[in-house]
Amino acid sequence: MFESLQERLGSILNGLTGRGALSEADVSAALREVRRALLEADVALEVVRSFTDKVREKAVGAAVLKSIKPGQMVVKIVHDELVEMLGAEGVAIDLNAPAPVVIMMVGLQGSGKTTTSAKIAKRMTERQGKKVLMASLDTRRPAAQEQLRQLGEQTKVATLPIIAGQTPVDIAKRAVQAAKLGGHDIVILDTAGRTHIDEPLMVEMADIKKASTPHEILLVADSLTGQDAVNLAKNFDDRVGITGLVLTRMDGDGRGGAALSMRAVTGKPIKLIGTGEKMDGLEEFHPKRIADRILGMGDIVSLVEKAAETIDAEKAAAMAKKMQSGKFDLNDLADQLGQMQKMGGMGGIMGLMPGMGKMKDQMAAAGLDDKMFGRQLAIISSMTKAERANPDLLKHSRKKRIAAGSGTDAAEINKLLKMHRGMADMMKAMGGKGKGGGMMRGLM
């Protein structure tokens, strides 16, 4: 859905090379692409407009951080605004009401209401020790009540016994009554859906609401829904008054467009997301993760954030110069190892880069892990200044003392020295071609 946004942004961002502050022209060019891509991805026009307005307001004149490219700065602003529009912080289902707390699930047929009802019931039973009762109010689709009963059996959650011929409102009342008598903390009402929104459905939802006074009314919506997402959310909210959204099928190809539209037009929080057909396929909603997904830029944003926090441009420049001249001693290695630790270690850095997960596993298998960095730093700090500048000074007896001092052994010291030699040679070779720039820059 949003692949095109990623591509478009990628190409224009490369074009932004100025320094200092972001100019109106830079921002406008970027926003034109953002706008077009969002519209093509079926995000509602009103949502797109308000989104781009907000980004423009924040971006024009914004100072470009030292050591960050203007394009990256725009990505960051677009990203932050996406997070903001998606609700900034996650919001949980509110159970703060006298028992039994009624949760009413609404939405179109096939959106995942029944599945999600059972998932929520299971989670509250297992994680919060709640006693939950589920009831299907879908009298129109013959198999619906039976479907919920079976899910109840599977998840070990009680379901209201089925009585043929009752109306949805009757069932809702009976469920609340049964929960009171049975000492249930929570009642989940799984209402009937339609293939599209119609008047009788809205009337039925309003009647059920009146009869059961739900504390939460959750609109369950398929995240693959396109243009209709806005109408759907608006209609349910206007007519029934929803308290939150649950987006299903987030495990599919949907890239979060529906999330953006629905959250923006209703202002209601997305409380949970469905991530699979199985009963444990339910997760809390993290706006930041969805924004990353919509933007589709790996985790460039957090990489930029972390880099901004930790990388000192002057230091990097000095290091680059040193490397080019072929001088890279153990002091420099210790500096680099320290930088890497600050950025969350090997795992932190690799995890931020798309497609690097596998490499991380391979490195771990080879014993290259963060613990090793810690040991290497300990070894280097046990050396004298002269030894760090010229590792050839280290004779066997010194290595043994350093090993004792750093809680390692001579073999590990030799391994470190070998690694350093390899790196120094490599950097010298790179420096000769004028490509020096430090490990960190290489990783960027």
User: What residue numbers does the annotated binding site for GTP cover?
Assistant: 107-114, 190-194, 248-251
Nearest distance from C-beta of residue 114 to ligand GDP, angstroms: 3
Nearest distance from C-beta of residue 230 to ligand GDP, angstroms: 19
Cα–Cα distance, 77 to 292 (Å, whole number): 12
Q: Which residue has the tokens 């999330």?
A: 259
Peptide bond into 100 cis (omega under 30): yes
Q: Contact 379/391 with Cβ under 8 angstroms?
A: no
Q: Contact 232/108 with Cβ under 8 angstroms?
A: yes
Nearest distance from C-beta of residue 291 to ligand GDP, angstroms: 20
DSSP for 236-298, please give it: HHHHT--SEEEEE-TTSS--SHHHHHHHHHH-PPEEEEE--SSTT-EEE--HHHHHHHHHTBT
CB of 172 or CB of 379, closer to ligand GDP? 172
β pairing state of 132-136 and 158-159: parallel
Q: Contact 74/16 with Cβ under 8 angstroms?
A: yes
Q: Which residue is nearest to ligand GDP (CB)?
A: 274
Cβ atoms < 10 Å from Cβ of 258: 31
CB of 70 or CB of 107, closer to ligand GDP? 107
CB of 276 or CB of 326, closer to ligand GDP? 276
CB of 226 or CB of 347, closer to ligand GDP? 226
CA angle 296, 299, 303 (to 5 degrees): 145
Under DSSP, the state recorded for 21 is B
Cα–Cα distance, 340 to 332 (Å, whole number): 12
Q: Report CA-CA distances (Å) from 282 to 38, 271, 275, 279.
A: 27, 11, 6, 7
CB of 110 or CB of 405, closer to ligand GDP? 110
CA-nearest of 348, 321, 346, 344 to 332 is: 321
Per the annotation, where are the binding residues? 107-114, 190-194, 248-251
Nearest distance from C-beta of residue 299 to ligand GDP, angstroms: 23
CB of 23 or CB of 231, closer to ligand GDP? 231
CB of 126 or CB of 277, closer to ligand GDP? 277
Nearest distance from C-beta of residue 123 to ligand GDP, angstroms: 13
Give residues in contact with ligand GDP (CB under 6 A).
107, 109-115, 193, 248-249, 251-252, 274-277, 281
Nearest distance from C-beta of residue 293 to ligand GDP, angstroms: 15
Nearest distance from C-beta of residue 247 to ligand GDP, angstroms: 8
Q: Could you tell me how many residues make up the chain?
A: 444
